[in-house]
Amino acid sequence: MRHCCRFKPDDIYYLYDNDLFSSRKLSIGFCPICHKPVAELIEFRFDGIVNKESVSGVAANDLMLSLSDQIYYSMRECNYSKVRSKPYGWKFGLNKVVKSKDKEYVKQYACDFYGNKELVKSF
């Protein structure tokens, strides 16, 4: 995205296709220099022409509100869903011994560095 300088968007929303446009993407962010909200809408027409609209300030908020019912999914939701589910990325094993009356049980867990864990085996 570009306003006073070039910066990465805070979130990217993918929108539903409509009659005229496909591959619609709305990028939202705050300019690091002037701290204004900036919105950028990129749409591809079916004949190959790219429509790019970039607005800032109050117009960015209005654009976001007008397109809020057309949001299919956002990149932030996708990234958090990977982290908050089963162990993701690098994994390590964790063994715990549980004592119950006369017996000892060993539980083996697969853990990741995000704090997620999953029971693999119990014996």
Please spell the DSSP secondary structure of 77-116, one letter per residue: HHHHHHHTSS--SSEEEEEEEEEETTEEEEEEEEEETTS-
Could you state, in chain order, the average pLDDT of each consecutive group of 10 residues for the chain (123 residues)? 86 90 91 91 91 92 91 80 68 89 91 85 90
pLDDT given at position 83: 58
Q: Are 54 and 4 in contact (CB under 8 A)?
A: no
Consecutive H or E run containing 64: helix 58-66
Measured CA to CA in angstroms, residue 63 lies from 22, 27, 98, 100 at distances of: 18, 11, 56, 60
At residue 100, the pLDDT reads 86
Tokens standing for 74?
């956002």
**Full-model pTM:** 0.64
